[in-house]
C-alpha cells in the first residue's frame, strides 16, 4: 500500500522549502515528490501535512548508545555487566527513533554492543534508527574513552586495531586525537594519538573504504588528525585559523556536539557530575563557542551530533541540538540542513537518505507547525507528530523520559 503525505510544507534537506507539495511513498522508498495528490477512492493511505512541516528523517552524527546519560556514564559502563549496557542500548535506540532521528552514527562502544544493536535493528529483532557503528574507539593506552576503547600504541598497533574493528563489522573508525572531559586525569587540550599513529590508522580505514572521525579538542591533536587525513572533527574545542582553513579547503566536516557541553554546564556538580568533569567543561566551553563561530563564518561544513549518552544528554532529546546550533550562529535552515542533508554527507549516505527526493529511503518526520519560524519547537515534548523509517510508521509513544 502506498502512503501520501499530502499538500503541505516540505523541508527538502538541500536548502529548499516547498509549499503545497505531496510526498508519495511506496515500499521503503519515496516514489514521488510533486503537486498532484491522490484522489479520493485511490488505494493510498493519506496523511495530511496541514499546518505541520515534513522533514527528512533526522540524522545524529555522534551518539553513544552504550552510554546512559547518568552523571558519570563512563563509570557506569565500567561498573555494570555488558548485558545491562546492551539492554540500556536497546532502550536508547528505541527512544532515539521515536524522537524522529532515523539514523545515528555511533561513535564508540564497549564489547561490540553498538555492532550488536545495529544487527538486531537490521534483522527486525528490535526497533531503532539506522545505526552506523564504530565498534571500539581507538585510543592510546589510558587515553580518553579507554573504557570503551581499543588501546593502541605505535602506528602498527593502531593499524591492527583498525583492522580488528573492520573485522568486527565497523562502518567507520573513531580515533581519539586528544584528551577529553569525561575521563579522569586526561586533559582536553593535550594531544594523545600521534600524527604517525593516526596516519597509519586512517590510511588503513580508507583502504577498506571506511570513513574516519576523531574526538579532537586541543589544537595540536586537531592539526595532527587533519594532516593525517581525518574525515570529520568531533567537538573541536580549540580550532585554530589554520585548522579552519584546512577543513574548509579539504571538506573536512565539523561536528561540534554543543549539547554535550551544554548539559554538563547546566547541571554541574549539584546533579552528581564529577567535579573534575565540571571544572574541565567550564574551561573549554567559551573556546568551543569561539571555534564554532569562526568555523561557521569561514564556511566549514557543520553537521549535527549530540554526543547523546553523556551526562544528562538523553537519547531521544537529540533534536535540542538544532536550537543550540542556531544559538551559536547558524540560521534555522542551516541548522536543519546540518541535521539532514549535510549529516548524510558525513556518513557517505547522501544518495540514500538526508533529503526528501524521489528514490531515497522513505525516512520522513512530521514536525508540528513551522520550525523555520520557531526553532525552539524542538525543545517541546510534543514537537514530533509522526515518524516513518523506510516506509514504516514508528510507534512514538515512548519517546519521553
Ligand atoms: Zn563522543
Q: What is the pLDDT of residues 296-324, one digit of tens each?
A: 999 999 999 999 999 999 999 999 999 99
pLDDT at position 177 over 50: yes
pLDDT at position 401 over 50: no
CA 306 – ligand 1 centroid, Å: 8
Residue 400, domain member (yes or no): no
CA 282 – ligand 1 centroid, Å: 18
CA 4 – ligand 1 centroid, Å: 37
Residue 314, domain member (yes or no): yes
pLDDT at position 40 over 80: no
Cell of 228: 593525517
The whole-number pLDDT of residue 308 equals 98
Produce one character per residue of 238-276: b if its CB has 16 or more CB atoms within 10 Å, e if not.
bbeeebbebbeeeebbbbbbbbbbbbbeebbeeeebbee
CA 47 – ligand 1 centroid, Å: 37
Same domain for 167 and 110? yes
CA 108 – ligand 1 centroid, Å: 7
Match 507547525 to its residue by C-alpha cell: 369
User: Taking phi first (over 0 means left), then psi (-120 to 50 degrees means alpha), and beta for anything else, what does residue 21 get?
Assistant: beta
Match 521503503 to its residue by C-alpha cell: 28
Name, in order, each residue with C-beta under 8 angstroms of 361's C-beta and a sequence gap of 6 or more.
28, 29, 30, 57, 352, 353, 390, 391
- Contact assessment for residue 69 and residue 314, using Cβ atoms and an 8 Å cutoff: yes
CA 400 – ligand 1 centroid, Å: 22
CA 256 – ligand 1 centroid, Å: 10
The average confidence (pLDDT) of the chain is 96
The whole-number pLDDT of residue 185 equals 81
CA 48 – ligand 1 centroid, Å: 38
Same domain for 15 and 120? no
CA 263 – ligand 1 centroid, Å: 14
pLDDT at position 398 over 60: no
CA 220 – ligand 1 centroid, Å: 19
Residue 326, domain member (yes or no): yes
CATH of the domain at 19: 2.30.40.10
pLDDT at position 399 over 60: no
Residues 157-184: what's their mean pLDDT? 96
Residue 317, domain member (yes or no): yes
The H-or-E segment that residue 326 falls in is: helix 321-327
Helix ranges, 216-320 (H): 219-227, 241-250, 258-267, 275-298
Same domain for 286 and 383? no
Same domain for 241 and 226? yes
CA 6 – ligand 1 centroid, Å: 38
- Contact assessment for residue 93 and residue 131, using Cβ atoms and an 8 Å cutoff: yes
User: CA 347 to CA 14: how far, in whole Å?
Assistant: 16
Confidence bin at 92 (pLDDT 50/70/90): very high
The whole-number pLDDT of residue 400 equals 47
Same domain for 72 and 202? yes
CA 76 – ligand 1 centroid, Å: 15
CA 93 – ligand 1 centroid, Å: 16
- Contact assessment for residue 258 and residue 328, using Cβ atoms and an 8 Å cutoff: yes
Match 536508547 to its residue by C-alpha cell: 92
The whole-number pLDDT of residue 344 equals 98
Same domain for 17 and 146? no
Length of the chain, in residues: 401
Residue 225, domain member (yes or no): yes
Q: What is the pLDDT of residues 185-194, one digit of tens each?
A: 888 889 999 9
- Domain count for the chain: 2
Same domain for 374 and 243? no
Same domain for 30 and 170? no
CA 307 – ligand 1 centroid, Å: 5
User: CA 107 to CA 135: how far, in whole Å?
Assistant: 8
Same domain for 69 and 51? no
User: CA 279 to CA 195: how far, in whole Å?
Assistant: 28
Residue 322, domain member (yes or no): yes
Confidence bin at 233 (pLDDT 50/70/90): very high
CA 67 – ligand 1 centroid, Å: 10
CATH of the domain at 125: 3.20.20.140
CA 9 – ligand 1 centroid, Å: 34
More confident residue, 354 or 181: 354
CA 148 – ligand 1 centroid, Å: 10
In eight-state DSSP terms, residue 136 is S
Report which of 64, 66, 63, 70 is spatially closest to residue 274, judged by C-alpha positions: 70
Residue 139, domain member (yes or no): yes
Q: What is the pLDDT of residues 360-386, one digit of tens each?
A: 999 999 999 999 999 999 999 999 999
Same domain for 248 and 133? yes
Residues 342-365: what's their mean pLDDT? 98
CA 72 – ligand 1 centroid, Å: 13
CA 107 – ligand 1 centroid, Å: 6
Same domain for 137 and 12? no
Same domain for 105 and 226? yes
CA 272 – ligand 1 centroid, Å: 20
CA 352 – ligand 1 centroid, Å: 25
Structural domain for 50, as ranges: 2-56+355-393
Report which of 47, 53, 51 is spatially closest to residue 11, judged by C-alpha positions: 53
Residue 398, domain member (yes or no): no
Amino acid at each position: 500500500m502506498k502512503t501520501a503525505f499530502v499538500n503541505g510544507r516540505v523541508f527538502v534537506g538541500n536548502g529548499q522549502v516547498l509549499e503545497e507539495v505531496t510526498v508519495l511513498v511506496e515500499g521503503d522508498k519515496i516514489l514521488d515528490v510533486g503537486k498532484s495528490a491522490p484522489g479520493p477512492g485511490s488505494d493510498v493511505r493519506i496523511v495530511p501535512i496541514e499546518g505541520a512541516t515534513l522533514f527528512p528523517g533526522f540524522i545524529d552524527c555522534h551518539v553513544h548508545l552504550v552510554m546512559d546519560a547518568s552523571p558519570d556514564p563512563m563509570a557506569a559502563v565500567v561498573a555494570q555487566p555488558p548485558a545491562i549496557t546492551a539492554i540500556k542500548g536497546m532502550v536508547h535506540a528505541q527512544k532515539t527513533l521515536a524522537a524522529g532521528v532515523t539514523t545515528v552514527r555511533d561513535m564508540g562502544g564497549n564489547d561490540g554492543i553498538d555492532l550488536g544493536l545495529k544487527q538486531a535493528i537490521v534483522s527486525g529483532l528490535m526497533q531503532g534508527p539506522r545505526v552506523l557503528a564504530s565498534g571500539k574507539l581507538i585510543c592510546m593506552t589510558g587515553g580518553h574513552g579507554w573504557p570503551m576503547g581499543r588501546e593502541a600504541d605505535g602506528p602498527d598497533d593502531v593499524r591492527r586495531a583498525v583492522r580488528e574493528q573492520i573485522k568486527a563489522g565497523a562502518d567507520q573508525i573513531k580515533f581519539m586525537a586528544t584528551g577529553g572531559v569525561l575521563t579522569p586525569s586526561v586533559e582536553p587540550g593535550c594531544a594523545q594519538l600521534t600524527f604517525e599513529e593516526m596516519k597509519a590508522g586512517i590510511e588503513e580505514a580508507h583502504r577498506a573504504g571506511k570513513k574516519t572521525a576523531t574526538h579532537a579538542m586541543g589544537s595540536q591533536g586537531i592539526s595532527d588528525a587533519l594532516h593525517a587525513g581525518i574525515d570529520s572533527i568531533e567537538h573541536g574545542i580549540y580550532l585554530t585559523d589554520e585548522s579552519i582553513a584546512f577543513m574548509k579547503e579539504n571538506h573536512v566536516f565539523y561536528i561540534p556536539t554543543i549539547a554535550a557541553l551544554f548539559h554538563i554546564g547546566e547541571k554541574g556538580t549539584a546533579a552528581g557530575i564529577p567535579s573534575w568533569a565540571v571544572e574541565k567543561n567550564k574551561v573549554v566551553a567559551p573556546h568551543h563557542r569561539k571555534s564554532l563561530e569562526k568555523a561557521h563564518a569561514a564556511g566549514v561544513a557543520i553537521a549535527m551530533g549530540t554526543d547523546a549518552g553523556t551526562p544528562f544528554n538523553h537519547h531521544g532529546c537529540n533534536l535540542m541540538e538544532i536550537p543550540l546550533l542556531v544559538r551559536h550562529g547558524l540560521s534555522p535552515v542551516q541548522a536543519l540542513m546540518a541535521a539532514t542533508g549535510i549529516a548524510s554527507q558525513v556518513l557517505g549516505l547522501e544518495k540514500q537518505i538526508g533529503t526528501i527526493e524521489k528514490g531515497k529511503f522513505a525516512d520522513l518526520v512530521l514536525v508540528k507547525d513551522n520550525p523555520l519560524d520557531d526553532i525552539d519547537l524542538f525543545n517541546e515534548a510534543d514537537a514530533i507528530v509522526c515518524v516513518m523509517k523506510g516506509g514504516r510508521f514508528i510507534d512514538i509513544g515512548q519517546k519521553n523520559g
